[in-house]
Amino acid sequence: MTAKIIDGVAVAKKIRDDCRGRVQRIVAQSGTRPGLAVIIVGSDPASQIYVRNKIRACANVGIESLRFDYPADVNQDAVIDRITRLNDDPAVHGILVQLPLPPSFDMARILHSISADKDVDGFHLYNVGGLVVGGTVFPPCTPYGVLKLLEHEHIALEGRNVVVVGASNIVGKPMALMLMQHEATVSICHAKTRDLAQFTILADILVVAAGYPNLIQPEMVRTGAVVIDVGINRLGDGRLVGDVNFDGVAAKASYITPVPGGVGPMTVSMLLVNTITSCERWQQQTFVPIFSKFPARVTK
């Protein structure tokens, strides 16, 4: 068997074309243009590239973007003050804080100061809770992108055995919860899992987000499995690879995502989708029903 390579670039392009149409409709109907505020603290080179790509993607579909740069030694209260003002700014429909933050920052406090109504990264507790009980307003972008890739390929989830390797708050855990919402049978593995292969070999669908090159070898994958590689690793020679031994596993799987060109382009596209959805909600006045702001100054 040779796997079909899932073309994330092509799927992401379709989603962006759709985004452009939605933006045009919003502007025509209300005169409002969706707006995304991006906050970056420090000068981490990878974060600078990610932010630049997000801003470029916004421009590409007609979303207005605002960028706020802070030095790594900024007082975090200044960042929270900025977020509070953006929460109240009617021209801003999405707010994201680029991660990672400098170690001196209380990441939870920063993320929870973003209004749940503008939390387009989906990291606010309200939106995380929505993943558990259903009805999430803003699904986190990377797992949302994985679901869209599976949907695009008409890969059914109901009743399938799905193994998620990686249990971070940003990728692995929300991925597992979203797959459960689709009635898959989900196992979650992480760095402390003993004998990873005994789990991965059972997967109809294997989603890998560990950040560990060549973690998944062909003998760990069932013949005909769908393999989604979320990992992004920069090798010593400058090459970008995922977590899966691509050539070996592609010879055995039914579907596989490449790195680069698989999940990566989807993540930014889903950020655009969430920002536009947020703008549409503000237009229709369909806000988060319980509370719109988590208290910014929670005591630790």
Q: Which residues bind ligand NAD (CB under 6 A)?
A: 142, 165-168, 170-172, 189-191, 193, 196, 209-212, 215, 230-233, 263-264, 267
Rounded to the nearest whole angstrom, what is the least distance from the CB of residue 223 to ligand NAD in the complex? 22
292, 294, 296, 298 alpha-carbon torsion, rounded to 10° = 160
Q: Which of 54, 118, 252, 293 is catalytic?
A: 54
Nearer to ligand NAD, 64 or 229 (CB): 229
User: Any catalytic annotation for residue 237?
Assistant: no
Taking a C-beta distance cutoff of 8 angstroms, is the pair 296, 80 a contact?
yes
How far is it, in rounded angstroms, from Cα 281 to Cα 197? 44
Catalytic residue among 117, 119, 121, 243: 121
Cβ closer to ligand NAD: 58 or 80? 58
Q: 67 - beta bridge partners?
A: 38
In the annotation, is 48 catalytic? no
Query: Cβ distance 106 to 261 under 8 Å?
Result: no
Q: Smallest distance from the beta carbon of 174 to ligand NAD, in angstroms?
A: 10
Instruction: Let me know if 121 is a catalytic residue.
Output: yes
The type of residue at 2 is: T
Residue 132 near residue 177, CB atoms below 8 Å: yes
| DSSP three-state, residue 243 | coil
- Kindly report whether the peptide bond that precedes residue 295 is cis, defined as omega within 30 degrees of 0: no
Closest contact distance (angstroms) between CB of 54 and ligand NAD is 11
Strand partners, 188: 164
Least distance between ligand NAD and beta carbon 118 (Å)? 21
- The residue (of 86 and 96) whose beta carbon lies closer to ligand NAD is 96
- Residues marked as catalytic: 54, 98, 121
